[in-house]
Structure 1
C-alpha cells in the first residue's frame, strides 16, 4: 500500500555488466520532543492543552527561548526549507518559506525540495527568498508564527531578535535528532499533534510493510554519502558514513537491515567537527572503513553509484565485489516524511519478493 504522499520512483542497482538504471542532497531533518524530555511538567501540560485546542501554549525552544504562542497559528512562515516539509506533512498552515537554489537536481523552480514541492504548490506556499534570510520579506507576510532552524545553511538564528519582533519565533535544532522527532515537535507547537502522530504511525506501518515484502540484500550494510572528489578539490574521494544515531541509519534498520561497524582508526578529523550521526572517512581509509556486504548511497543517483563502483579506493571492498551498491535518490539526504517514504518505495522496488 502506497501513501498519498509518496512519490513513486525506482532505485538503481548498478552492475558492471548489466545496469538497472534509476535517476533520482544539511542533514537530516529532525528535532527533539521537549515536552517528553526534561523541559518540565508545566511545558508538557501546555502541550497537552494545545492538542485539545486550548491556548496559549508556552514552549522552550532548542535555543533556550521561552516562547508563548497565544492562539492556534493560522499563518506560519518557515525560514528553513529543511523544516518546511515536516510542517507540510502535519498540515500546518504554512503560507511562506525560505528556499534553496532553484532548478537544481533537488529543487524546483521556486527552490522547494522536489519531494514536497507539489504539496507546497497545492497549498499556495510562497517562496520568500533563496539563500540568506530576508526580514522584510518575512514581515510582509504578517505571520503569527515563525519557525527557524538552529543550524545548517538555512538557519536564520542570527536574526532571531528581529524575527521575534514580528511574531512568536521558535528555533528548532534539526541537526541532532531524527525526522520523526521533527514531525512530533512541529505538530506540538502548531497544534497539529494528532496529524503528526498520524504521519509517524503511517510511516512506521509502511516501513513494516516493506520489511515484510522484501528479500534483504547481503548483510551487514553500510550507508553513506559518497563524494567522488576529496574535500577542497583534491584528488581521491571521501565519504560520510551514517552511524546508528543518524536518521538514515535508523531507516535502514527499520526495514530489517543490519548496520556494518566502522573500524576504529579509520575516521578523519573532518571539517564538521565531532558529530554523532556521521563518521568522516577520506582517502585510503575508505577501503578499511566500508565493511558492509552491501552499500547504500544517500544523496545519490545512478551516476553517483557508477562512480563509486569504479573508484579504485573501494574496488576491493565487499560490496563492490558483490556488485551490491545501491543508490537511494538525490532526495534521501534531507529526510522528512516525503523523502523517507520515497526511500522505502525504492527499497521495495529493488528487493521486493
Structure 2
C-alpha cells in the first residue's frame, strides 16, 4: 500500500528510519487518506473493480450505482434468498412471522435459514416495513420489491435519498432472472452464472428422470379455509419451472377469473366462490405451499369432487417451502419431484406414447 507522506523529502534531514516511522504513524492515525475504505476495496475481485459506475433499469426508472456495494439491505424476504445465492454482501433483511412451518425464529425462510445464520444476516423488522430500521443498517444499496406482501414501495422516495434503491418486481421473473439482475447490480455476475449453471444441470437431470403424471397440470396454492386458491400462471417462477420440466399448464377459463386476477399480478390467478371448481381444469393438481395434510384437505372439499384430477387421484403436495421459489427452495423441489415422479424406462416409454395424444383442457 502506498502511503502518501506530508513532508518534503529535503525536510527529512534525520534518518530514513525516522522518516518512515513518521509516515507509518500518520497512516495508523488516519492522517494519510481514507484508509478505512481499504478493507472493503480489498474484498472486491478484479471483475468487480471494473465496469463502474453501472446503470440498472428498474420499475422506478434508471438507477446508477457508482461502485460495488458492500452493505446491501433487502426489504423483501422473498428477494433475500436470491441475494444470498449469488454471495452478494447483504447485511440485513426484512423478515416475516417467525417460528412457523416455513420460517425460523428470526422470520427468515427455512430453505436458506442456515446460510443466513452463517453469514450473520440481521433481521430488520417483521411484517410492516420500518424506514428507521432500514436506514440504521447504513446501506449502500437497498432492494425493494415492487409487488407482493413484502413490498416496501411506499417508502421508496424516503429510502432513495439514503442509497441507490432498486425496485424489482418478482411476480413475472424466475429466480434465475433475478439472480442475473442482482449479479449485474452488485458485481457478482460470476456467482449468479455459477448458481444458474448448477441448477440447470440438476433440472436437466430431473427432467430426464421424470415420468410425468397425466397432463395438463394445474399448479396452485390452496386456501386454508377451503374458499379458493391461487393458480400459478406461465409467468410465475413455478409455472416457468414446470414448463421447463415438461409439464403442460392447464388453461383457466376467463369466466372464472376473479376481479383481482388481472392487471395487478402476473404470476397468479385468484379463484374463489361458486366457480372455484371450474377453474381447476388440470388432469393433475400440484399443491405448492402444501403437504400431505393439504392434499387430504383438498380431496375432502365436496365442491371439488368433480375435478378430473381429484376423481383420478392425481393430487400431489409440492412442499411447504414452495410458495416463493428461490435457488434453495427450487433445488429442494427438483429433488422432491425426482422422488415423486420417478419411474422405469418402460413406464417412461408408455408416458411418451400418451403424450402424443391431444391433451384435454376440460
TM-score by length of 1: 0.79
Aligned to 2:247: 257
CA distance 1:153–1:289, change in 2 (3 Å)? closer
Instruction: Determine which structure has more spread, i.e. the larger CA radius of gyration.
Output: 2
Aligned to 2:81: 85
Paired residues, number: 298
Aligned to 2:190: 194
Give, in angstroms, the shift of residue 327 of structure 1: 0.7
Deviations along 1:272-310, whole A, 9 cap, x unmatched?
A: 755433222223323322121111011111211110011
Give, in angstroms, the shift of residue 51 of structure 1: 6.1
Q: State the alpha-carbon separation in 1 of the partners of residues 211 and 297 from structure 2.
A: 26
Q: State the alpha-carbon separation in 1 of the partners of residues 261 and 247 from structure 2.
A: 29
CA distance 1:158–1:286, change in 2 (3 Å)? closer
Aligned to 1:110: 106
Indicate if the aligned counterparts of 1:51 and 1:194 stay in contact, CA closer than 8 A. no
The SS at the match of 1:170 is strand
Structure with the bigger RCO (C-alpha within 8 Å, sep 6+) is 1
Aligned to 1:288: 278
Q: How does 1:259-278 map to 2 (within 5 A)?
A: 259-270=249-260, 275-278=265-268
2:51 corresponds to which of 48, 54, 57: 54
Q: State the alpha-carbon separation in 1 of the partners of residues 292 and 92 from structure 2.
A: 33
Identify, as 1 or 2, the structure richer in helix: 2
Q: How does 1:297-312 map to 2 (within 5 A)?
A: 297-312=287-302
2:68 corresponds to which of 69, 72, 79: 72
The SS at the match of 2:304 is coil
Indicate if the aligned counterparts of 1:228 and 1:308 stay in contact, CA closer than 8 A. no
Indicate if the aligned counterparts of 1:53 and 1:72 stay in contact, CA closer than 8 A. no
Indicate if the aligned counterparts of 2:299 and 2:310 stay in contact, CA closer than 8 A. yes
1:137 aligns with 2:137: no
Q: State the alpha-carbon separation in 2 of the partners of residues 162 and 311 from structure 1.
A: 47
Deviations along 1:105-130, whole A, 9 cap, x unmatched?
A: 21110010111111111111111111
Aligned to 2:221: 225
Q: State the alpha-carbon separation in 2 of the partners of residues 228 and 87 from structure 1.
A: 30
Unaligned runs of 5+ in 2: 1-45, 344-362
CA distance 1:242–1:153, change in 2 (3 Å)? closer
CA RMSD of aligned residues (A): 2.0
Give, in angstroms, the shift of residue 50 of structure 1: 7.2
Q: How does 1:160-175 map to 2 (within 5 A)?
A: 160-175=156-171
Indicate if the aligned counterparts of 1:92 and 1:190 stay in contact, CA closer than 8 A. yes
Q: State the alpha-carbon separation in 2 of the partners of residues 197 and 139 from structure 1.
A: 31
The SS at the match of 1:116 is helix
1:94 aligns with 2:90: yes
Q: State the alpha-carbon separation in 2 of the partners of residues 201 and 88 from structure 1.
A: 16
Indicate if the aligned counterparts of 1:59 and 1:189 stay in contact, CA closer than 8 A. yes
Aligned to 1:352: 342
Give, in angstroms, the shift of residue 58 of structure 1: 2.3
